[in-house]
Amino acid sequence: MRKLIVFNLVSLDGYIADDRGDMSWGHRDGKDVEWSSFIADNARGGGGLLFGRTTYELMASYWPTPHASQSFPELAERMNRVPKFVFSRSLEKAAWNNTQLLKGNLAEEVLQLKGAPGADLAILGSGSIVAQAARAGLVDEFQLVVNPLALGKGKTMFEGIEGKLPLKLARTRIFGNGNVLLCYEPAGN
C-alpha cells in the first residue's frame, strides 16, 4: 500500500499560509545549495499530489507558467507531470495537466488512492485536507519544514481537527538557510 505523506512549509509560529493565503514566504531563500538540492531530490519522486480547492487553484496558477519553468525548471516539470487529485465540492473542472477532480468521501477516495499501484502520495498545503486525512488515520508521515519566520496570523495545517493527534519524531535535518525538517509519524505506528 502506498504511503500518504504531508509535506508543508510551516512558519515558526505554526502557519502554512499567511492571512491572505500566500505561501511564497516559504521559498524566499534560493541561495542555500543544500536546501535547493533537497527540494530537487524531493521533486523526483512521488506517485501523486493531493490538494484541496484553494491550494490547487494557487498551484495551478503558478506551476504551468513560463516563470515557474525558468525559476524552478526541475520542480516545475515534476509539478506539471505528476498526477494530481483535487478534493472539492464546488470546483466544476480541473484544467491543470494530469489532474483528476474528486467529489466523493475524502477517506474513501484516499483509501482507494493508497491501494492503487505506484509511488507514495503527498499532500501539499491544503490544511483542510490534512486535517480530514489525519483525523481518519490516513496520514503515514508528516514532513514539516519549519521556516525561521513568524507570520503573526494565518492558516494552520490542523484547523478543525478534533482531539489530540499524538505523533513521534522519526528524523530531523537542519539546513544552512535556517529551515529545519521535522518528520513525524503517528504514534500508533
User: How far apart are the C-alpha atoms of 51 and 86, rounded to whole Å?
Assistant: 5
24-74 residue pLDDT tens = 887 766 678 888 788 777 766 678 999 999 889 989 999 999 999 998 888
Q: pLDDT value at position 29?
A: 60
Which residues have CB under 8 Å from 29's CB, separation 6+? 35, 177, 178, 179
Q: Per-residue pLDDT for 80 more than 70?
A: yes
* Region 4-186: CATH code: 3.40.430.10
Domain boundaries, the chain: 4-186
117-151 residue pLDDT tens = 999 999 988 888 999 999 999 999 999 999 999 99
155-169 residue pLDDT tens = 998 887 888 899 999
Q: pLDDT value at position 108?
A: 96
